[in-house]
Amino acid sequence: MGQFYAFCGKSYRKFMHEGVKSPVFKKYTVAGGGYKKNVKCPHCQSTDRTRLLYLFFKLRTDIYRNKTRLLHISPNMLLARELQSIPTVEYTCGALTPECFSPFNAVKVDVSKMTFDENSFDVIVCNHVLEHVPDDATAMREIFRVLKPGGFAVLQVPLALDLEKTLEDETITGRKERKIVFGQTDHLRLYGVDYFDKLSSIGFRVVRDNPFADNWADDLERYSLDRNEDVFVCYK
Ligand SMILES: [Zn+2]
């Protein structure tokens, strides 16, 4: 029997390593990004951040019991498969390139300009997307608009815990430069803890839910999660 357990049901003595080494992620203590040991399941390829959301929905929400209209934007395939399979969930997958998500009948969604009516969804999952979006404030407003009052969005980003103000510079456009300054070639900024002020200014009430600090379960060590990574639950 292995020590670590992934939601595919397999367990291993140890998971594989994953991610790209990034000095800027290390410098500012970034949760939810960079190189990590013992995170990737050799069987289903799930990583810590996918298992975190899987456990969050299982243990901290009622979507397995109550009828839920859920929008999943540019999803992780494993999480998409899980959420789509829940009988109580009316699942919509949206992506800029819906052809890449055909098993989920994806529709075209530009997160900065969505075609859904306001108050359409109970839950929106936009996981590690905003750091790639040029106008993130507009995207946050759009997510707020299409969310139902009382609903919530899960808006994970790589978060620099030791950085007060988000690093952003439109003149930095090269892949090499972006990697040096923001930590990854395709990231347009590095979010600091003012990320929560940005979300609050749109109207969200943000709750940071941490599996360890908030005692989600007794056997959390088995899932090899990042202890620093909270789920950012953004209520409308
Ligand atoms: Zn697995």
How remote is the C-alpha of 70 from its chain's centroid? 14
The CATH number that applies at residue 15 is: 3.40.50.150
pLDDT for 184 equals 87
The confidence score (pLDDT) of residue 8 equals 84
- Which secondary structure element, helix H or strand E, spans residue 31, and what is its range? strand 30-31
Count of domains observed in the chain: 1
Ligand 1 centroid – CA 25 distance (Å): 26
pLDDT exceeds cutoff 90 at 5: no
User: Which tens digits make up the pLDDT trace of 67-99?
Assistant: 999 999 999 999 999 999 999 999 999 999 999
How far is ligand 1, taken at its centre, from the CA of residue 204, in Å?
A: 33
Q: Kindly give the distance from the C-alpha atom of residue 138 to the centroid of ligand 1, in angstroms, as a whole number.
A: 36
Mean pLDDT of 128-148: 97
pLDDT classification of 21: cutoffs 50, 70, 90 = confident
Task: Determine how β-strand 30-31 pairs with β-strand 159-160.
Answer: antiparallel
Q: Looking at 37-51, 137-151, 206-220, which range is the least confident one?
A: 37-51
Cα torsion 43, 44, 49, 50 to 10°: value is: -150
pLDDT over 60 (residue 1): no
Phi, psi of 24 (to 5 degrees): -70, -35
Q: Which domain holds residue 187?
A: 4-235
Confidence band (pLDDT; 50, 70, 90) for 2?
A: low
Determine the Cα–Cα distance for residues 183 and 26; give it in Å rounded to an integer. 9
Distance 52 CA to ligand 1 centre (A): 13
pTM score over 0.85:
yes
